[in-house]
Amino acid sequence: MEPIERYLAELNRALRGPRRAKADLLAEVRGGLDDAVTSYMDSGEPAAVAGRRALADFGEVPVVAPGFQAELSLAQARRTALWVTLAVAVQPLVWGPLRPGGADPDLTAAQALIDPLLEGLGLVALAGALLALFACGTGVRFLGARPPVARFTGVFALTVTAGFVAMGGGMLAGGAPDQLWVLAGLPWALMFLVSPMAAVALSARRCLALA
């Protein structure tokens, strides 16, 4: 195996993160090394010497891997924040049809207590997810690729998940027996609440592991 291939294989083993983001990063590294080798060869260096010099200029894997890992952590954080945004934004659309009376249903006392909290959590979740998307995207120019951003995103997403599942369950459990969303709500909740939030939680765990 050529030195550059060995280097890329070692770097691949050292990094963890979203598959596509990791593949793009390794392809970028390969392109940079190939350009450096070509430049040295154009200057008259033999191919073997050009490869060694390109690798020496780029840096050893233990030195460069932390920086690349930070980028992959942010990529996972962006994915997690996007999952939160989608999972939260869809809730009013999927729960509305189940509510008797449409947008202003006759809520039980328990539901009337939980409903504004649920709406407030949704607003906080959307605001936090959009902030995380900015911090992990355009905001990198100002904040840098900092692991605390990814950790915060993971913790925030897990908190949102727990809150929505608990409150959604409370809305179902606290309903009157004749309410449509109590009679048909369990499979609906599994499809449009538990499943999306499970995806958010899985992405958040990966985010914390990478950070």
- Could you give the angle at the alpha carbon of 86 between the alpha carbons of 169 and 157, nearest 5°? 65
**Mean pLDDT, range 186-194, rounded to an integer:** 69
pLDDT tens per residue, range 120-130: 898 999 999 99
> pTM for this one?
0.79
pLDDT grade for 118, boundaries at 50, 70 and 90: confident
pLDDT higher for 147 or 99?
A: 147
pLDDT higher for 130 or 184?
A: 130
Find, among 106, 10, 16, 5, the residue nearest to 60 by Cα.
Answer: 10
pLDDT of amino acid 38: 93
pLDDT of amino acid 143: 62
pLDDT tens per residue, range 137-175: 776 666 665 668 889 999 999 999 999 888 877 877 776
Q: For residue 152, give Cα distances in angstroms to 11, 86, 123, 180, 182.
A: 26, 19, 18, 38, 35
pLDDT at 9 over 60: yes
Give the residue extent of every domain in the chain: 3-59, 74-210
**Mean pLDDT, range 170-189, rounded to an integer:** 62
**Mean pLDDT, range 77-81, rounded to an integer:** 93
pLDDT at 30 over 70: yes
pLDDT at 136 over 90: no
Torsion of CA 188, 190, 194, 199, to 10 degrees: -110
DSSP letter, residue 60: -
Q: Which two tokens stand for residue 208?
A: 């914390």
Q: How far apart are the first and last CA of the chain?
A: 32
CA-to-CA distance for 54 and 32, rounded, in angstroms? Answer: 9
pLDDT of amino acid 144: 60
- The share of the chain scoring above pLDDT 90, in percent, equals 44
User: Please, what is the average pLDDT of the chain?
Assistant: 83
